[in-house]
Amino acid sequence: MTAIRQDAWSEEDDLILAEVTLRHIREGSTQLSAFEEVGEKIGRTAAACGFRWNSFVRKKYEAAIQIAKAQRQKRNQQRKHAAAFTAVSHGGTAVMDGDGASRANVMIEEMSMDAVIRFLRQWKGSYQEMSRHIRQLEKELNDKQDELERLRSENEELSRQVNDVSTDYRVVNDDYKALIQIMDRARKLAFLVEEEEENKPRFKMDENGNLERIE
């Protein structure tokens, strides 16, 4: 029995989840099938894979999801056109063999050139439309990447400014502390001088010309 992991998702896990899910989208499969396949590969439950996809990974691959959906739509249209072309160009009946299994017994009829031209024009129009859609999605993806680079540059510039401000603050703070220490020493020195002046003996001269100490 495969152990169900409880550790954090790694970049490799996210990449596997994205690749498998995008492939299922392109092939017209369900996301649940994709989550089950991923769960078997990385040892997690399908529910855990689905939660990770919807809460985190999907946001990083929005453009790729649109491209995968466009590819799926293009493939479906090609299949419809091929089926229509086969129906116009060929005729046949289905018969049963002895075991009861169905098989197609196709009889080639005269091919209609008008039908071939009509099919090719329709296919060309669909192909051009899908090509324009893919180019538009690629342009949007490039625009998003350019915006991401711009935001990354702005973030680096803001981080640099914050570091400069922090450095200036530390310098000012150190200068302030030094100034406080100088003022404190000056205050103590002034107090000592004043105290010495008060304790210094004072004299006055009496009537006989003798010095007399004043208490």
Ranges of each domain in the chain: 1-60
Q: Where are the beta strands (DSSP E) in 50-208?
A: 90-96, 102-108, 202-205
Give the percent of the chain with pLDDT over 70: 69
Between 37 and 115, the higher pLDDT residue: 37
Contact between 46 and 39 (Cβ < 8 Å): yes
Residues 29, 76: Cα–Cα separation, whole Å: 12
**Lowest-pLDDT range, 47-56, 60-69, 83-92, 150-159?**
83-92
Q: What is the mean pLDDT of the chain?
A: 77
Would you state the pLDDT for residue 84?
65
Beta strand extents in 67-143 (DSSP E only) = 90-96, 102-108
Indicate the pLDDT class of residue 95, thresholds 50, 70 and 90. Answer: very low
- As separate numbers, helices (DSSP H) first and strands (DSSP E) second, the chain gives 6, 4
Task: Give the contacts of 69 (CB within 8 A, at least 6 positions apart).
Answer: 25
Cβ–Cβ contacts within 10 Å for residue 33, how many? Answer: 14
What's the pLDDT tens digit per position in 154-209?
888 888 887 887 787 787 788 778 888 888 787 877 777 666 666 666 666 666 66
The whole-number pLDDT of residue 26 equals 92
Question: Does residue 215 or residue 95 have the better pLDDT?
Answer: 215
1-60: CATH topology is: Arc Repressor Mutant, subunit A (1.10.10)
Q: Which residues pair with 124 in a beta bridge?
A: none
Query: What pLDDT, on a 0 to 100 scale, did the predictor assign at position 111?
Result: 41
Taking a C-beta distance cutoff of 8 angstroms, is the pair 57, 79 a contact?
Answer: no
User: DSSP labels for 142-186?
Assistant: HHHHHHHHHHHHHHHHHHHHHHHHHHHHHHHHHHHHHHHHHHHHH
Q: What is the pLDDT of residue 127?
A: 72
Q: What is the mean pLDDT of residues 105-128?
A: 58
Least confidently predicted of 25-34, 54-63, 141-150: 141-150
